[in-house]
Structures are given as C-alpha cells and as structure tokens.
C-alpha cells in the first residue's frame, strides 16, 4: 500500500513515542505465558480474515473509546499490532496520552508474523 507523506509523518512521530518489540519476543512471551495483552488494531474485515493467537480486537477507530472498559490496569503490558506497524504506533501513542504506561507496538505487525510462518487464527 502506498501511504501519503502526511500519514507517514504522523506515524513516524507516534512511533518515536511508544516502545517497540519484534515478533520473536511476542512469540516467546506467548510460549512463556507472560502476562500481557495482545491487541489487534486493524479494521474489522482484517481481523475477520485471520489474526494472531490470543489477541483481542479493538480497531484503531474505537480503541481509545473502549480500552478503559477492557483494561483497567494502566500498568498492564499492552502489545498493539496492525498490518505493518503504523496504525499500532499511532494507537499506542494515544493510549499513552490516556495514561497507559506499558504500551508497545509490534514491529512489522501482522505482515511480519505471517511472513515468519507463525500460526494465525481463522475465525469459524
């Protein structure tokens, strides 16, 4: 997908504000059953096709509205992902502005996970 320079500028600024991790780390955390919440911020149709195991869905369009009802602990580790990392960085920046202190964007997002051949969940 070709992104506008304006979009890329906003995404780059947001990316500087949030922590980042890679797919190998998230995969290891899942295997270790580490206490973190994996949040898919992609659109509904993307989630419905397939998504990462153990993820919940709060799309970028609603996450700021609905997150407090789902995650009351502002210290909980939140790993956000999207298709490639732009939307998750922007959503993560917003969550930090709301007071969440452990927000991480998954570098490469869904695309990197799929390319690595890691398991995806396809809803029934």
Plot region of 87 (φ>0 → left; ψ -120 to 50 → alpha; else → beta): alpha
Q: Which residues are catalytic?
A: 82
Distances (CA, A) of 5 to 12, 15, 53, 94: 10, 15, 33, 20
């Amino acid at each position: 997908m070709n992104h506008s320079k304006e979009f890329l500028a906003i995404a780059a600024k947001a990316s500087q504000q949030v922590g980042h991790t890679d797919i190998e780390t998230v995969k290891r955390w899942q295997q270790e059953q580490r206490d973190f919440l994996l949040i898919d911020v992609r659109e509904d149709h993307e989630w419905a096709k397939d998504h990462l195991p153990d993820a919940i869905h709060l799309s970028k369009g609603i996450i700021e509205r609905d997150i407090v009802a789902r995650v009351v602990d502002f210290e909980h580790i939140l790993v956000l992902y999207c298709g490639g990392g732009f939307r998750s960085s922007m959503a993560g920046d917003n969550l930090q502005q709301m007071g969440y202190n452990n927000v991480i964007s998954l570098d490469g997002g869904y695309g990197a996970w799929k390319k690595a051949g890691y398991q995806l969940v396809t809803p029934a």
